[in-house]
Structure 1
Amino acid sequence: MSSLIKDEAIVLRKSPVGDYDVSITVYMRKQGKENIYLPKGQLLKSPYISSTEPFTWFKGVFIRKREKFFIKEIDRSKALGIEICKDLNRFITANYMLDTFNRYIIYPDERMFIFLKKSLYYLTGSCDMSIFRLNFLAKLVYLSGIYPELKQCVRCGENINRNNYQLFSISEGGVVCTKCSKQKRNISYQHIKYLQQLRIIRFKNLPKLRIKDAHYLEKILSDYLSKNA
């Protein structure tokens, strides 16, 4: 038994199957992450060849048959990869975003779909790629419901300020005060303020943001995601 579903999708991965066919991994607005099989999808005459590349958004009708998805028709599509691939750093950042999203997000969540779509659209604009990557990671953690506690000590509940901040604990999920730990500080209090800001900053304001050691802060947040997701 099969059913027809209207939905939107963003292509995360594309893999050849044999000499002619293709399998794509997509994140759909309503259905979440799915694998779609495209018979003869490698052939140039395939009607879907330009709409199934990574970084592409498309809207159409899907067939669900025995828990498997197939494309019946594509109404509209936007190949964002054309603009993304014009700049190497932007291309590397886009690949990082899709790989990270594909690794950690498996459940249906319309907020996640909108977030990924906006991220790819804004990526085609002008912005520091290190800041963009960090913002993407922070928003992904926040929307996953596991954003670290940054205002109160995770051990005693004391409000944290510049004077009593001691360290950021990945395993405990937030900041620790000077009374609860004498361990060496891993990131500065200014970095904690950056993390607070990244949770709420809008995409259009990213070009104004300046963060020292953004790559190091990204590593800390990436470790936090891998241990708490």
Structure 2
Amino acid sequence: MTYDERVTAAAVVFDYGGVLTSPVRDSIAAWLKRDGIDPVSFSRTLKAWMSRSAPEGTPIHRLETGELAAAQFDTLLAAELVATDGGPVAPNGLLQALFAEMRPDPLMFDLVEELKSAGVRVALLSNSWGNTYPRELIDALFDPVVISGEVGMRKPNPEIFAHTLKLLGVEPGAAVFVDDAVANIEGARRAGLQAVLHIDVHETRSQLARHVAGLNTTTPQLEETP
């Protein structure tokens, strides 16, 4: 297929954390170091609650669907963690601390603006971990905004993709989904969407250019503040 033969996607659906923000893993690493938490205990818990082999209904699953409040999750998570000195981990504000270093990526938001200006629908589809979102920013930019804890569904299950597509009013094949988690990318493809695994803004822009005719493949540089 040549460039001129590409059909512009009707909609692009973006994940939030790790796609429109700095990498979540960097925030987690900073939290573990800052608060003196044994990384092995966190990795072990994350695998048990979030891996492909994890049973349905783990604390993370229930957190993402809104069945479990953040404070309740903090308590369950703290019980699984060990401090680097071998002691217990206090539960207060664990999720808030985990996401403390996560920042919006202005280059990704510029990409969303560019797509929107080109007439492509843009939606947000995020699994919430009790973290706060810059609602004024995302509500003005995305339509719709689908947060797992608000709709009682979570990625990678097909229902939340179907719900998002219904709100967009587009067929699955006319939408491109962007996420940094392989499991969610695979779930989107099973639901019939095209999908792009987010590595960084440059790679995502390049991949989206395969679906959106006329999209600039070069990431514009941010203007430096004098």
Report the TM-score range of the alignment, normalised by the length of the smaller protein. under 0.3
Larger radius of gyration: 1
More helix by share: 2
> TM-score scaled by structure 1?
0.25
Instruction: Looking at secondary structure, tell me which structure has more strand per residue.
Output: 1
